Amino acid sequence: MNRVLVLNGPNLRRLGTREPDVYGAASFDDLVALCRDAARHLDLHAEVRQTDDEAEMVRWVHQAADERLPIIINPAAFTHYSYALRDALAQRTAPLIEVHISNPAAREEFRHTSVVAGVATGTIAGFGLMSYVLALQAVAELIAEKKV
């Protein structure tokens, strides 16, 4: 079973209470359960993590690069300004999918730019928590293509 890291940036542990009109009513624990269940059906093992600490996120990305693990990442606020995270993600050795619960392009101007999108395999945004399920499906397909 292939491992995939599902990394979440600042404030995502507050899902369900943080701006439910934008991010929905589901909690972070709901997101973890959804990712683990969807991954299991795709013969993946999802390790879901969240941090408000940029340095910790960079360490996780380095770990993934060293272990050749696919990453699904919702960088949250780091999306728009963290060149340290972008540079770490550029060292990836496996598929990298950027996800967002909301559609940043339909929100405030400062959310329109992602400094990590340019090093990602792809971006999925605007589908609520389903963005993560779609990203897991993409990772499973990319892994399967590589084996052929």
State the catalytic residue, choosing from 23, 41, 80, 81.
Answer: 23
Q: With residue 95 as reference, give the H or E element that holds it.
A: none
* CA atoms lying within 13 Å on the CB side of residue 34: 16
Q: With residue 97 as reference, give the H or E element that holds it.
A: strand 96-100
Residue 132 a catalytic site member: no
Q: Is the dihedral of CA 94, 97, 98, 100 positive or negative?
A: negative
Residues across the chain: 148
State the catalytic residue, choosing from 41, 100, 112, 132.
Answer: 100
Residue 100 a catalytic site member: yes
Active site residues: 23, 100
